[in-house]
Structure 1
Amino acid sequence: MPTPVSQRVQKRRDALRAAGLRPVQIWVPDTRRPGFAEECRRQSALAAASDLKDPEFDMLLEEAAASTEGWE
């Protein structure tokens, strides 16, 4: 026999499914893994160097950031 907690969880899941939603599983990097911070720094440096090579991309980002009026 299910516990009251599992019944509530199942009821909630059923309601979400009835609303047209479905569960998904998302895998994300393990931030506790050794080397994670170093890899973040490496990728950030690559992205920054890439941005310096393409000033038009920077202008595109500025324009996009300026056009968020009315967003909530």
Structure 2
Amino acid sequence: MPTPVSQRVRKRRDALRAAGLRPVQIWVPDTRRPGFETECRRQAALVAQADHGEDGLNDFMDAALVEVDGWE
């Protein structure tokens, strides 16, 4: 026999499903893991290096933003 808490959870989930939603499990990196900060810095440095070598990137991004302005 389910506990009152499990009944409330089931009722809430059933209501969400009835509203057309479904549960999704998302796995994300563990920010507490040793080495996480080092890896973030490594990847950020790679991106910065790639951006530095791309002369037209800022112009391209600015042009793209102009096209997006006003979208809803």
TM-score with structure 2 length normalisation?
Answer: 0.78
Moved over 2 A (4+): 55-71
The aligned residue for residue 15 of structure 1 is: 15
1:64 offset after TM fit, Å? 5.3
The aligned residue for residue 3 of structure 2 is: 3
Deviations 1:13-50 (A, max 9, x none): 11111111111111111111111000000000001111
The aligned residue for residue 43 of structure 1 is: 43
The aligned residue for residue 29 of structure 1 is: 29
1:60 offset after TM fit, Å? 3.7
TM-score with structure 1 length normalisation?
Answer: 0.78
The aligned residue for residue 56 of structure 1 is: 56
**How many percent of aligned residue pairs carry the same amino acid?**
63
1:2 offset after TM fit, Å? 1.0
1:61 offset after TM fit, Å? 3.6
Q: CA RMSD in A?
A: 2.0
